[in-house]
A and B are shown apart, each in its own frame.
Chain A
Amino acid sequence: MPSLADVGQLLVNGVMAGTILAVPAIGLTAIYAVLRFPNFALASHATIGAFAGYVANARLGWPLLPSVATAFVVAGSVGVVTDDTVLKRFRPAGYITTAIASIALTIALENVVRFVFGNELRGYELPIQRDWRIGAIRVGPQQVTNLAIAGVAMAALFGFLGFTRMGKAMRAVADNPMLAAIKGIDADTIGRIVNFVGMGLAGLGGMLIGLDTTIDPLTGFRSILSVFAAAVVGGLGSIPGAVIGALTVGIGEELCLLFLSPDYRSAVGFAAILLVLTLRPRGILGQRAY
């Protein structure tokens, strides 16, 4: 019989995992909200961000926060460039074609990383610390740092969306593209902004995942299913939904260890999607972007 402390620990692990998952999930859902297609190239941009942060941290010797910022900026910039040169052309052909093109794009980018860095596992130059014990619950200092970084990123994003002109314009385009166009908001510029922010968050998420572990060209790819599940469960296109979805998926994946063997974990992601879609097809928070 699992004790209350066991369940509590799983909840804590789930919240931690979910918060980190939320960062790229927001990226995916934001791009969907504005550009109306699931951009699977998110996986490779997460990897690119993780490696950009690695170069900053391990090769240039920068401390944690500048490296994290590097991950965001590099991944975001690559996101704008790849969308402009590759994905934009596919938009008239429909969202399915664009989504499929984004899968091919992610494979191409993953292999650029592989060409440059090889398949070796690389770790950031950060001290590793023992967990703190609060009662019967274990929490890692690195987890708390990740939580803080993720929290600040999300707060900044919500501030951007809620209070800046560009953010409001983005929400307008997401909610009603025709009306936004009539009001003179340039869809192209908004598209670039959302790609920069969305892929930047992917890169940030990739680095956060790597901080706890190691990174290799497959880093982004391994997480894409969970990220996608998080976005769908919360409602594709809803940014607060992505946070809720990520927490749900993160906690769900941990709690089912109570009664399932750990190797069934990926089935949980899909089961979560199925469950939400049958009970509430638009996802937990529906489809409004914000």
Chain B
Amino acid sequence: MHEIDNGGDMPHRTREPRRRFLKRAGVLALGGMAPAIVRAQGTPLQLGVLTPLTGAGGFDGPRMAKAMQAVIDEVNANGGLLGRKVVLVVEDGQTNPEAAVRAARKLIDVTKVPAIMGTWASAVTSAVAPLCWESRTFLTTVSGADSITRLPHQGYLIRTQPNNHLQAGKHAEFIASMGVARCFMMSIQAPFAEPTQTRATEVLKEKGSQMVGTLIYDKDKTTYRSEVDQALRTNPDLIYLNGYAPDVTILLRDLYRASYAGKRFAQSYAVTSKVLESLPHEVTEGVITVQPSADVTSPAYELAKKRLGIAEPDSYETQATDWASLVSLAIAKAKIATGTGIRDNVRNICQGGGTKVYSAVEGLKLLAQGRDINYEGASGPCDFTDIGDIVDCKFRYNKVTDGKFVLLKVA
């Protein structure tokens, strides 16, 4: 079958350019309206959020947005920033670099935010980063790909997620310390899969354990029975499920069905409180989750718990909490809301000497008194290298017991 287009035969040469002009004028008109609508409410201070609300990352974006909003609500209750109410302008990154770039351009050129927080997929972050450093907008991200911090971002990027090398090593150390002799790693297809496998294998060997096998699985499957079979054939004591919530949920079910009796280890963002609610207790019993963390005595995590009303905020929620706090404190310190101001002041408020503070509001109060502060976050001490990686952090290990998280240790 073929499509046939029967065209008309009226002259139209003058119509087409007019249509195009009208369309462009329409965009201009709409765009011009939007900032005016916001301006009318008393010059709020707008910060950008670019996070996946649809697409493969759609499970993680909304949680991060909520965590950031919670911090900003507290800041506003405390008088806002630089005397202005803070408003988060949220755009959907759609887990797609092409769409995210358009969204970032809107945030940068129309809303004119000094900071964009919340990019998740590594490809999205790598695509948006050049726009940010070229326009001197500050970018905060969870994306794990090692190449991201090595981009020439001139300091306009920080990543609160420990890089693969650090994470994989620390996790492997912990696994070995549990007396695991045979470890198997199942990774979702993602840039971090291979580097994590390599590093973990290395460290396991150092610590006297062994990686008996690895596999990379497709993210869109509805069952992983065959992959589970492949893993179980190697007789592992522990299986490291290096994926995200949608696929790890299926893996946990399939492992239970296969009567696997060994240990299971996963990132906290793959086995969140919500995930525990959606799975039967038998399936999640004994799962160990890990997230980057500050000292066990740090109040920042407890404050995040209370603020969010969640039993155990996961790694993304704590990192989002820290972004909103760091950006707020840096703006307050810089006394101006620009990307360059944030870049030049962010390390000042979270590293070095200065009174330790564990929430944005606490820090804002001290800054107002002219004191120096050192923000210690919910996801870690929040100390950054020159290229924007975190210097070090501890890891918090939780064990799922009867559908609830129980702290194992912080190491």
Contacts and interface: CB of A to CB of B under 8 A. Distances in A.
A and B touch in the complex (CB under 8 A): yes
Interface in A1-38: 6, 9-10, 13, 17
A118 B54 CA distance: 10
A209 B275 CA distance: 18
Interface string A233-264: 00000000000000000000010010001111
Interface in B215-229: 215-218, 220-223, 225-227, 229
A123 B216 contact: no
A130 B278 contact: no
Interface residues of A, number: 43
Nearest to A258: B226
Contact of A130 (B58, B221, B246, B257): B257
Given A213-B249, A214-B278, A96 B3 contact: yes
B218 A122 contact: no
A192 interface: no
Contact of B225 (A13, A119, A122, A127): A13
A266 B62 contact: no
A104 interface: no
B280 interface: yes
B229 A128 contact: no
A127 B280 CA distance: 8
A263 B221 CA distance: 10
A140 B259 CA distance: 11
Contacts of B226: 9-10, 13, 254, 257, 262
A212 B282 contact: no
Nearest first, the 3 A-B pairs at minimum CB distance are A119-B58, A123-B278, A263-B189
Contact of B223 (A119, A128, A213): A213
A187 to B, nearest CB: 17
Interface string A78-116: 000000000000000111110000000000000100100
Contacts of B278: 120-123, 214
Contacts of A93: 3
B283 A128 contact: yes
A128 B59 contact: no
B58 A6 contact: no
Interface string B276-289: 00111011000000
A138 interface: yes
